[in-house]
C-alpha cells in the first residue's frame, strides 16, 4: 500500500468520475460536477483511494485495513505528488486508448463522444436548477489567495471510503429538517483545532469564524484599562514614568493576546470556555488595581495576578495536549515555554531596583517572542530546523494556526476602540457663552489626527489589497502581529499627552477662566519638555509603525500610478522622523498640535494623490468609468501547447512566448 502525507489543491476528476443521484436520478458522465474524486482504478486494476487531508488519511487507513477487500491498493492525500503522478499515468493510458478507438472505429467513436457531451451539458444544467449550493472557498477572499491553504472536510458524518461522500454535496431535505432544530450550549464539550499547519500547508474549516460577543466585551474592557495607563504616564512625563508605562502596558497586552489565542486556536463553544475568559478578566482587573502603586508597594500582587492568568493559559495548553493528540507536541512546547518567564517574574519580586529591570525585561522578551521560537522549530525553512532532532520534528508536524478573518476582525475592532477612546481625552467643558478659542481649536486638531489615523489604517492601507501580511508569508505575519504592540502603545501615550496639551493654558488665546471648574485644576500653565517628547515621540512612532504594517502587505499594482507604494511609505517614514524630533523646536501647545496635525494630514493627502493615476482628474470624475473599462491581450501560444504542458507537468516559459511576439509589445485598454 502506498501512502503520502502531502496535500495539494483540488483538481477536476478525469477518470471514473462520481455519479450524483437525487430526485431526478440523473448523472454526470465524466464531467466535473463539483464533487471530489474519492477513488479510481489504475490501468493495472489497482484501486487508488484519495483522502482529503492527512487526518482523514489515518482514518481511512484504519478502516481499509480492517475491510474485506484483499487486493492491493494505494492511499494518497489529495493533491500530493503521488496523487498527481497516478492521475497523469492513468490519464495518459486512457488518452492512448481513446486514440486507438478513433483509429479502429472512427465514425462510431465520434458519435459516441458527441452523445456523452450532450448528456453532460444537460445533466449539468439540470443539476444547477435543482440542487445548487454555494460554499465559501477559503482559498480566495479579500485577504488574498494562498496556494498553501486547504479546507478540511467533516468526514465524521460520511463514509470517507464511499464515492458519494463529498464536501460539496447539498441535501435540501436535510437542510429543511435541520433548520427546525435548535442548538444547546453545554457545560463542557471537547475542543477541536480550528485550523492547523501540516508540512507547509494550512488546513482550516470552510466556515468563517465569527467574533464572539464576549470577545468584544474583552476589547472594550482592555481599552479602558490602557487609557488609564496612558493618562497616568502623561501626568508625570519622565523617563521613569515611560519605563513603568511600557512594562505595565506590555503585561496587559499579554492578557489580550492570550485570550485571543485560546479562542482562535480551539473551538469549544461551552460554559467552561466563558468561565475561563471570565477568570482571565478577573485577573486583568486585579492586575489593573495594583498598577498605580506597583513600584512602591503593590508590585508583588501585580505580578501575582499576571502570573495567575499566564499559568492558567499554560495549564490550558497542557490540557489540550492531553486531550488532542494531534497537536500534543506543539501544546507541550508552548506550555513549557510559558513556564520560563513565569519563573523570572517570580524572581523579580525578590530583586531590588535597578537589578529588577534586567529580570523584568528578560521575562518580557520570553513572553513576547517565546511562541515565535516554536514556529522556528516547526517550520522547515527556518535556520534552526536542520538542527532539530527527528523525534521533535515528528511531534511538531501539526501546529495550530490563527484564523485570518477572525484575527483581522478582532484587531480591527480593537484598534477602532483605541482610536475612539483616545478621542475621549480631548473632551473638556467650556465656561463661556462663545467657547470658540484655542482650547476648541486644539481639540479639533486632535480629532483630525485621530480621524486621519483611522482613515490611513482602515482605508488607505487596505485599498487595493492583494495579499494580507498573515497570508503572504510567515515572517510578514509575525511582523504584522508584533508591530501592533508598539503601534497601539505609542498612540495611546501620544493621545494621553495630547489631552494634557489641549487643556493647557500656556497661550493668551486659551484663557483659564473659559474652562469649567472641573477642568481648571487639570489645566497646565506651561508645557514640560517631557510632555512634548511623550506626544511627538508617541505620534511619530505610531506613524512609523503604520508604515511598517503597510509594508507587510502586498498591494495591487495600478498602471500609470502617480506614486508607487515605496515612495509613499518613504515619505511616511520621513514625516514620522520629523514629528519625533519636533520637541527640539520648543513650540507652544497650539503650535505643536497644529504642526503635527499638518504633517499627518500631508501623509494622507500624499496617499490620496499617489494612488491615483496619471491622466485622471483627481478632483472629480469626468467621463471615465472604472467599472466600464475592459482589457484585452493576445499571446503567441496555442491551446495545444497549454494542454500538452498540463499533461506533461512542464512549466510554460513566458520569456520564450515573448520572443515569439512581433510588432508592438504594449496593449491598449479599451474604454
Query: Cell triple for residue 186?
Result: 453545554
Give the pLDDT score at 649: 64
Which of left, alpha, beta for 635 (phi over 0: left; psi -120 to 50: alpha)?
beta
Q: Is-contact 510 525, C-beta < 8 A?
A: no
Whether residue 177 contacts residue 260, with contact meaning beta carbons closer than 8 Å, is answered with no
Tell me the average pLDDT across 52-70. 72
Query: 358 with 258, same domain?
Result: yes
The confidence score (pLDDT) of residue 33 equals: 44
Residues 6+ apart with CB under 8 A from 635: 657, 661
pLDDT for the residue numbered 25: 41
Query: Which of these, 34, 38, 41, lies nearest to 57 by C-alpha position?
Result: 38
Q: Is the Cα torsion angle 348, 352, 353, 358 positive or negative in sign?
A: negative
Residues 395 and 337 both lie in one domain:
yes
In the Cβ-directed half-sphere of 621, how many Cα atoms lie within 13 Å?
Answer: 5
Q: How far apart are CA 229 and CA 289, in angstroms?
A: 11
**510 part of a folded domain:** yes
pLDDT of residue 153: 53
In a domain, 15, yes or no: no
Average pLDDT of span 91-109: 83
Q: For 169-173, 249-253, 598-602, which range has the lowest pLDDT when averaged over its residues?
A: 169-173
The more confidently predicted of residues 532 and 23 is: 532
pLDDT at 431: 78
Per-residue confidence (pLDDT) for residue 370, from 0 to 100: 86
pLDDT at 505: 84
pLDDT confidence bin for 142, thresholds 50/70/90? low
pLDDT at position 24: 40
Task: Tell me what pLDDT residue 18 has.
Answer: 39
All residues at 6 or more sequence positions from 185 whose CB lies less than 8 Å from its CB, including other chains: 269, 270, 271
pLDDT number for residue 120: 79
Other beta carbons less than 10 A from residue 648's beta carbon: 9
Pairing of strands 39-41, 47-51: antiparallel
Q: What is the pLDDT, as a whole number, of residue 2?
A: 46
| Bridge partner residues of 75 (DSSP) | 3, 49
Give Cα 143 distance to the centre of its chain.
8
**Residue 407: inside a domain, yes or no?**
no
Q: CB–CB of 48/86 below 8 Å? A: yes
Return d(Cα 318, Cα 333) in angstroms, integer: 9
Q: Is the pLDDT of residue 504 over 70?
A: yes
Query: For residue 663, what pLDDT is reported?
Result: 42
Could you tell me if 590 and 510 are in contact, meaning their C-beta atoms sit under 8 angstroms apart? yes
Q: Which residue has the higher pLDDT, 208 or 121?
A: 121
- Same domain, yes or no, for 629 and 595? no
Q: Do 268 and 388 fall into the same domain?
A: yes
Q: Which of 333, 367, 401 is the last residue of a domain?
A: 401
Percent of the chain with pLDDT over 90: 33
Q: What residues form DSSP beta bridges with 630?
A: 670
- Domain around 112: 39-134
DSSP codes of every residue in 323-338? H-GGGHHHHHHHHHHH
Average pLDDT along the chain: 79
Rounded mean pLDDT, 123-136: 51
DSSP state of 452: H
Contacts 24+ apart (CB under 8 A), 106-114: none
Say if residue 638's pLDDT is above 80.
no
Q: Which three cell numbers stand for residue 352?
A: 531590588
Q: Residue 77: which region, alpha, beta or left (left: phi > 0; alpha: psi -120 to 50)?
A: beta
Least confident span in 82-86, 125-129, 344-348, 459-463: 125-129
574 lies in the same domain as 642: no
Please give the Cα distance from 605 to 595 (Å, whole number): 15
Query: Could you tell me the sign of the dihedral formed by the alpha carbons of 434, 435, 441, 443, in that order?
Result: negative
Contact (Cβ atoms closer than 8 angstroms) between residue 310 and residue 342 = yes
Kind and range of the H or E element at 356? helix 355-378
Of residues 354 and 177, more confidently modeled: 354
What are the phi and psi torsion angles at 663 (to 5°)? 80, -145
Range 613-633 average pLDDT: 55
pLDDT at 394: 85
- Residues with Cβ within 8 Å of 75's Cβ and at least 6 positions away in sequence, in order, are 1, 2, 3, 48, 49, 51, 57, 60, 61, 64
Looking at residue 73, what is its pLDDT?
77
Q: Which residue has the higher pLDDT, 317 or 201?
A: 317
- For the ranges 166-180, 374-388, 568-582, the one whose mean pLDDT is highest: 568-582
Please check whether residues 278 and 396 belong to one and the same domain. Answer: yes
Q: Are residues 580 and 541 in contact, defined by beta-carbon separation less than 8 angstroms?
A: yes
Of the two residues 32 and 36, the one the predictor is more confident about is 36
Cβ contact 516:431 at 8 Å: yes
- Burial of 370 per CB tally in 10 Å (0-12, 13-18, 19+): middle
Residue 325, exposed/middle/buried by CB under 10 A (0-12, 13-18, 19+)?
Answer: exposed
Q: Which of 262, 297, 295 is CA-nearest to residue 277?
A: 262
Q: What is the pLDDT of residue 6?
A: 40
Closest by CA to 575, choosing from 593, 608, 597, is: 597
Residue 179 scores a pLDDT above 60: no
Give whole-number Cα distances, 415 to 412, 421, 496, 535, in Å: 5, 10, 16, 19
Residue 20 forms part of a structural domain = no
Q: Is the pLDDT of residue 3 over 50?
A: no
Residue closest to 439 by CA, chosen among 502, 497, 500: 502
- pLDDT band at residue 28 using 50, 70 and 90 as cut-offs: very low
Q: Does 563 share its domain with 459?
A: yes
**Whether residue 72 has pLDDT greater than 80:** no
Average pLDDT over residues 332-357: 93
73, 105, 134: which is the final residue of a domain? 134
SS3 at position 136: coil
Give residue 636's pLDDT.
63
Query: Are 380 and 327 found together in one domain?
Result: yes
Judge whether 418 lies within some domain. no
Give the bridge partners for 195, in sequence order.
Answer: 204
What is the pLDDT confidence band of residue 650, given thresholds at 50, 70 and 90? low
- Model confidence at 449, pLDDT cuts 50, 70, 90, reads very high
Q: What is the rounded average pLDDT of the residues 363-380? A: 86
pLDDT band at 281 (very low <50, low <70, confident <90, very high): very high
Residue 667 has pLDDT above 70, yes or no: no
- Overall average pLDDT of the 25-53 stretch: 66
On whether both 278 and 226 belong to a single domain, the answer is yes
C-alpha cell at 606: 500624499
Q: Is 671 helix (H, G, I), strand (E, B) or coil?
A: coil
Instruction: Determine if the peptide bond prior to 44 is cis (ω within 30°).
Output: no
Asked whether residue 362 carries a pLDDT value surpassing 80, the answer given is yes
Most confident of 373-387, 554-568, 623-637: 554-568
352, 290: one domain: yes
Output 406 or 626, whichever has higher pLDDT.
406
**Dihedral over alpha carbons 142, 143, 145, 149 (to 10 degrees):** -120
Residue 285 has a pLDDT of 94
Q: Which has the higher per-residue pLDDT, 607 or 640?
A: 607
Give domain status of residue 9, yes or no.
no
Residue 74: strand pairing partners: 48
Q: Are residues 476 and 540 in the same domain?
A: yes
What does the pLDDT read at residue 550? 95
Cα–Cα distance list, 526 to 52, 73, 446, 503, 530 (Å): 68, 84, 19, 11, 12
Per-residue pLDDT, 653: 64
Domain co-membership, 60 together with 205: no
Q: Which residue has the higher pLDDT, 493 or 129?
A: 493
User: Residue 278 has which C-alpha cell?
Assistant: 471570565
Q: Is 178 within the bounds of a domain? A: no
Distance of CA 442 to the CA centre of its chain: 37
Residue 447 predicted with pLDDT over 80: yes
Per the CB < 8 A criterion, the answer to whether 458 and 419 are in contact is no
- Which residue has cell 499554560? 314
Label residue 614 left, alpha or beta by phi (over 0 means left) and psi (-120 to 50 means alpha): beta
The answer to whether 418 and 226 have CB atoms below 8 angstroms apart is yes
Give which of 363, 348, 241, 368 is closest to 302, Cα–Cα. Answer: 348
Nearest to 488 by CA among 263, 250, 218: 250
Instruction: Answer for the pair 40, 17: CB distance below 8 angstroms, yes or no.
Output: no
- Between CA 56 and CA 151 the distance in angstroms is 12
Rg, C-alpha atoms of the chain: 31
Number of domains composing the chain: 4
Residue 92 lies in a domain: yes
Can you tell me which residue has the cell 490540557? 319
CB contact at 8 A, 14 and 87: yes
Calculate the CA 436 to chain-centre distance.
44
For the stretch 391-410, pLDDT in tens is 888 888 888 888 888 888 88
pLDDT at 276: 93
pLDDT at 10: 38
Q: Among 12-26, 265-279, 449-463, 632-646, which is the least confidently predicted range?
A: 12-26
Structure confidence at residue 353 as a pLDDT band (50, 70, 90): confident
- How far is residue 602 from each of residues 428, 452, 535, 557, 575, measured CA to CA in Å? 27, 10, 18, 23, 9
Q: How confident is the model at residue 132 (pLDDT cuts 50, 70, 90)?
A: very low
Reply yes or no on whether the pLDDT at 9 is more than 60: no
Q: Across residues 147-154, what is the average pLDDT?
A: 56
pLDDT at 310 over 80: yes
Mean local confidence (pLDDT), 635-643: 68
Q: Which of 241, 145, 260, 163 is nearest to 202 (CA)?
A: 145
538 pLDDT above the threshold of 90: yes
Domain end: 586, 609, 624, which one? Answer: 624
Of 372, 450, 370, 456, nearest in space to 417 by CA: 450
| pLDDT of the residue at 140 | 46
| 343 pLDDT tier (thresholds 50, 70, 90) | very high
Provide the pLDDT for residue 92: 87
Q: How confident is the model at residue 547 (pLDDT cuts 50, 70, 90)?
A: very high
Choice among 25-39, 73-87, 512-526 with the minimum mean pLDDT: 25-39
The pLDDT, as a whole number, for residue 666 is 35
- Residue 585 is predicted with a pLDDT of 92
Amino acid at each position: 500500500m502506498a501512502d503520502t502525507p502531502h496535500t495539494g489543491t483540488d483538481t477536476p476528476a478525469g477518470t471514473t468520475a462520481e455519479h450524483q443521484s437525487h430526485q431526478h436520478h440523473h448523472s454526470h458522465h465524466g464531467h466535473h460536477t463539483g464533487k471530489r474524486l474519492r477513488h479510481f482504478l489504475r490501468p493495472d486494476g489497482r484501486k487508488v483511494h484519495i483522502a482529503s487531508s492527512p487526518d482523514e488519511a489515518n482514518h481511512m487507513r484504519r478502516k481499509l485495513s480492517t475491510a474485506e477487500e484483499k487486493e492491493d491498493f494505494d492511499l494518497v492525500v489529495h493533491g500530493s505528488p503521488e496523487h498527481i503522478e497516478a492521475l497523469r499515468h492513468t490519464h495518459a493510458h486512457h488518452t492512448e486508448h481513446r486514440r486507438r478507438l478513433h483509429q479502429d472505429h472512427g465514425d462510431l467513436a465520434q458519435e459516441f463522444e458527441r452523445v456523452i457531451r450532450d448528456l453532460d451539458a444537460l445533466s449539468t444544467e439540470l443539476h444547477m436548477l435543482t440542487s445548487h449550493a454555494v460554499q465559501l472557498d477559503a482559498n480566495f477572499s479579500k485577504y488574498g489567495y494562498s496556494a498553501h491553504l486547504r479546507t478540511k472536510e467533516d468526514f465524521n458524518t460520511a463514509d470517507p471510503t464511499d464515492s458519494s461522500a463529498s464536501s460539496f454535496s447539498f441535501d435540501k431535505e436535510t437542510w429543511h429538517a435541520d433548520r427546525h432544530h435548535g442548538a444547546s450550549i453545554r457545560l463542557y464539550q471537547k475542543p477541536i483545532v480550528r485550523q492547523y499547519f501540516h508540512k507547509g500547508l494550512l488546513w482550516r474549516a470552510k466556515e468563517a469564524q465569527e467574533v464572539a460577543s464576549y470577545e468584544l466585551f474583552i476589547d472594550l474592557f482592555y481599552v479602558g484599562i490602557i487609557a488609564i495607563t496612558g493618562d497616568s504616564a502623561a501626568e508625570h512625563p519622565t523617563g521613569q514614568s515611560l519605563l513603568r508605562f511600557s512594562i505595565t502596558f506590555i503585561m496587559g497586552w499579554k492578557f489580550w493576546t492570550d485570550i485571543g489565542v485560546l479562542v482562535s486556536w480551539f473551538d469549544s463553544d461551552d460554559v467552561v470556555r466563558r468561565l475561563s475568559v471570565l477568570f482571565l478578566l478577573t485577573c486583568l482587573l486585579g492586575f489593573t488595581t495594583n498598577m498605580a502603586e506597583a513600584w512602591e508597594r503593590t508590585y508583588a500582587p501585580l505580578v501575582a495576578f499576571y502570573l495567575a492568568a499566564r499559568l492558567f493559559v499554560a495549564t490550558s495548553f497542557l490540557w489540550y495536549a492531553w486531550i488532542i493528540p494531534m497537536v500534543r507536541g506543539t501544546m507541550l512546547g508552548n506550555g513549557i515555554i510559558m513556564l520560563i518567564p513565569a519563573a523570572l517574574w517570580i524572581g523579580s519580586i525578590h530583586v531590588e531596583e535597578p537589578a529588577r529591570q534586567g529580570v523584568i525585561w528578560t521575562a518580557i522578551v520570553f513572553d513576547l517572542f517565546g511562541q515565535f521560537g516554536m514556529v522556528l522549530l516547526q517550520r522547515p525553512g527556518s535556520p534552526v530546523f536542520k538542527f532539530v532532532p527527528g523525534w521533535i520534528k515528528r511531534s511538531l508536524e501539526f501546529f495550530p494556526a490563527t484564523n485570518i478573518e477572525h484575527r483581522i476582525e478582532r484587531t480591527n475592532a480593537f484598534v477602532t476602540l483605541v482610536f475612539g477612546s483616545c478621542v475621549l481625552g480631548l473632551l473638556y467643558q467650556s465656561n463661556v457663552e462663545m467657547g470658540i478659542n484655542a482650547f476648541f481649536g486644539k481639540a479639533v486638531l486632535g480629532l483630525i489626527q485621530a480621524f486621519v489615523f483611522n482613515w490611513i489604517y482602515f482605508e488607505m492601507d487596505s485599498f487595493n489589497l492583494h495579499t494580507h501580511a498573515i497570508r503572504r508569508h510567515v515572517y510578514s505575519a509575525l511582523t504584522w502581529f508584533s508591530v501592533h504592540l508598539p503601534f497601539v502603545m505609542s498612540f495611546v501615550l501620544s493621545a494621553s499627552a495630547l489631552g494634557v496639551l489641549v487643556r493647557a493654558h500656556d497661550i493668551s488665546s486659551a484663557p483659564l477662566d473659559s474652562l469649567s471648574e472641573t477642568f481648571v485644576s487639570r489645566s497646565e500653565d506651561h508645557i514640560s519638555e517631557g510632555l512634548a517628547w511623550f506626544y511627538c515621540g508617541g505620534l511619530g512612532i505610531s506613524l512609523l509603525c503604520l508604515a511598517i504594517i503597510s509594508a507587510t502587505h502586498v498591494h495591487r499594482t495600478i498602471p500609470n500610478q502617480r506614486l508607487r507604494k515605496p515612495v509613499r511609505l518613504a515619505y511616511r517614514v520621513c514625516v514620522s522622523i520629523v514629528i519625533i524630533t519636533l520637541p527640539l523646536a520648543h513650540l507652544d501647545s497650539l503650535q505643536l498640535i497644529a504642526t503635527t496635525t499638518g504633517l499627518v494630514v500631508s501623509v494622507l493627502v500624499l496617499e490620496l494623490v499617489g494612488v491615483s493615476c496619471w491622466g485622471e482628474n483627481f478632483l472629480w470624475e469626468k467621463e471615465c468609468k472604472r467599472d466600464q473599462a475592459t482589457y484585452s491581450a493576445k499571446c503567441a501560444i496555442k491551446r495545444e501547447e497549454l494542454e500538452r504542458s498540463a499533461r506533461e507537468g512542464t512549466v510554460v516559459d513566458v520569456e520564450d512566448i515573448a520572443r515569439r511576439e512581433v510588432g508592438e509589445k504594449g496593449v491598449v485598454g479599451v474604454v
